[in-house]
Amino acid sequence: MREFESEDGVMLFGGARVTDLADEFGTPLYAVDEDRLRENYRGVRDAFSKHIDTRIHYACKANTGLAVLAALAQEGSGIDAVSIGEVMTCLKAGFRPEDMMYTGVNVSDAELKAVTDLGVMVNVDSLSELERLSRINTELPISFRVTPGVGSGHSAKVTTGHDGSKFGIPRDRIAGAYRRARELGFKATGIHAHIGSGGQRAEPFEDEMEVLAGIVNELKEDGFDLDFIDLGGGIGVPYRPNEDEMDLEDLAERVTGIMREETDVETLILEPGRYIVCDASVLLTRCVDVKDSGAKRYVGVDAGFNTLIRPAMYDSYHHVAIGNRFGKACTAKYDVVGPICESGDALAHDRALPDPREGDLVVIYNAGAYGFSMSSNYNSRPLCREAMVRRGKAELVREAEGIEEMWRHQRIPERLAR
């Protein structure tokens, strides 16, 4: 887990005092450390590219903030997109169609046409999709997503590569998919798999590469010389104190070793999302209430699962600190809970904190991945602001939503108007 420095008892984030960020922009507030974002991207790129030609396609579903995307575009990243909305957002942020790969699931004909009309390569997820795509566009190269029979992830809800998964073409049918693509006039240039999100061990990635290498060699015997192997993403990050970080150098050496020794494919594609953005962001939320119910002590804050849904949805752990009394001795355990009218609206359970007080600034760590991107208007609460911090200076990169904006697509029939 990332560690932070402090100044006069106040936590520093991106060189700025978190209290200054909250005072300037209000709370709840997502804050992004631009330098950390870039460091994370370069770390994964450099670890793999020293062994083999590697292209990083940022899995933008983790965080589609335009400022985040623009910084990664400057770094030379590519994009893994899963919807036409993500494709359009990435174009807005400065990416080119040739920088992207579209990997949808259960994709409509309208979306396939929209994506290919923009010139974005499709990673085909099913035999049905292949047939439908052949009636729309056969001019762009394609690749296939295979179900490798290897699963990994922090939750069953984010494990994707296991047998029976809704994602990809089963291993025993993939060769037939390539042959059918050839019959339909496609040029199939690569193969893709993704085993899940948040994996902390190297072994599942090795197993995945072994499966893909075997498929590549089978396809070669059938006349298919692929340009790339796409290993997907899913590299985990430590959310808890003292939790081990994935050894990128070791992971890179293991999977590229298999690829180099067992195939003649020269390019590896990786699709990290969480690894790049997770610890580059925090969520700042203000303590508005402190309650002792007898059985439990609660710190009530102005961010709920409408702002950060991961703890409620996945039982995920996010570390919590009091930013304005950073490093002070803890006095008791508290649940950190939000304003949503649900018992499940908790950001953290049983956390040792230093005597919380109304007005304290609570900092939720590791909020960059699937934080803002999964936030909602539940309980008619507007989406919050977002700021980007670089070397002590902060800029607003997303305005807070207004109440009126939540109504902008709604209409009241005239017969109901008052």
Read off the pLDDT of residues 299-356 as tens digits, 9 standing for 90 and up.
Answer: 999 999 999 999 999 999 999 999 999 999 998 999 999 999 999 999 999 999 999 9
Residue ending a domain, choose from 276, 308, 332: 276
Q: Which of 90, 330, 341, 384 is catalytic?
A: 341
The yes-or-no verdict on residue 196 having pLDDT over 90 is no
CATH assignment at residue 377: 2.40.37.10
pLDDT at 176: 97
- Per-residue pLDDT band for 199 (boundaries 50, 70, 90) equals confident
Band of residue 200 on the pLDDT scale cut at 50, 70, 90: confident
Residue 256 has what pLDDT?
A: 98
Please tell me whether residues 28 and 106 are part of one structural domain: no
> Amino acid identity of 44?
V
C-alpha distances in Å from residue 38, one per residue of 44, 92, 180, 284, 394: 10, 20, 41, 21, 16
Same domain, 284 and 233: no
Same domain? For 66 and 202 the reply is: yes
Tell me whether strands 281-292 and 361-364 are parallel, antiparallel or unpaired: antiparallel
- What is the reported pLDDT for 151? 62
Contact of 2 with 315, CB cutoff 8 Å: no
In a domain, 415, yes or no: no
HSE of 135, CA atoms in CB hemisphere, 13 A: 7
**If residue 386 lies in a helix (H) or strand (E), which one and from where to where?**
strand 385-390
- Same structural domain, 312 and 366: yes
> Residue 385's domain spans which residues?
6-32+278-407
Q: Tell me: do 76 and 192 sit in the same domain.
A: yes
Q: What is the mean pLDDT of residues 50-76?
A: 98
What separation in angstroms does the CA of 181 have from each of 10, 133, 188, 193, 216? 59, 10, 7, 18, 16
Q: Which of 259, 276, 293 is the last residue of a domain?
A: 276
CA-to-CA distance for 308 and 367, rounded, in angstroms? Answer: 8
418 falls within a domain:
no
What is the pLDDT at residue 149?
82
Among 219, 244, 276, which residue terminates a domain?
Answer: 276
Phi, psi of 287 (to 5 degrees): -75, 125
341 among known catalytic residues: yes
pLDDT tier, 157 (very low <50, low <70, confident <90, very high otherwise): low
Q: How many CB atoms lie within 10 A of CB 99?
A: 19
412 assigned to some structural domain? no
The whole-model pTM stands at 0.95
CB atoms within 10 A of CB 391: 10
Same domain, 216 and 340: no
85-99 pLDDT, tens digit each: 999 999 999 999 999
- Strands ordered across the beta sheet of 6-7: 6-7, 10-13, 16-17
Q: Is residue 263 part of a domain?
A: yes
**Residue 159 reports pLDDT greater than 70:** no
- Considering the chain, what is the average pLDDT of its residues? 95
Is 211 a member of any domain?
Answer: yes
CATH of the domain at 216: 3.20.20.10
> CA 234 to CA 231: how far, in whole Å?
9
My answer on whether 78 and 108 are in the same domain is yes
CB 79 within 8 Å of CB 99: yes
Q: Is 318 helix (H, G, I), strand (E, B) or coil?
A: coil
- What's the half-sphere exposure (Cβ side, CA atoms, 13 Å) at 66? 11
Q: Say if residue 45 is in the same domain as residue 11.
A: no
Identify whether residues 26 and 40 lie together within a single domain: no
| 413, part of any domain | no
Q: Would you say residue 416 lies in a domain?
A: no
Residue 246 domain-assigned (yes or no): yes
Both tokens of residue 292? 């002792």
Give yes or no: residues 129 and 211 share one domain: yes
List 386's β-bridge partners, or say none. Answer: 30, 398
Residue 158 has a pLDDT of 54
* Three state DSSP letters for 84-146: HHHHHHHHHHCCCHHHEEECCCCCCHHHHHHHHHCCCEEEECCHHHHHHHHCCCCCCCEEEEE
Q: How many domains does the chain have?
A: 2
Domain check: are 23 and 123 in the same one? no
Measured distance between the N- and C-terminal CA atoms of the chain, rounded to whole angstroms: 54
DSSP 198: -
Query: Is pLDDT above 70 for 162?
Result: no
Are residues 180 and 269 part of one domain? yes
Q: What is the DSSP string of 57-84?
A: EEEGGG---HHHHHHHHHHT-EEEE-SH
CA–CA gap between residue 249 and residue 51 (Å, rounded): 10
What's the pLDDT at 154? Answer: 59
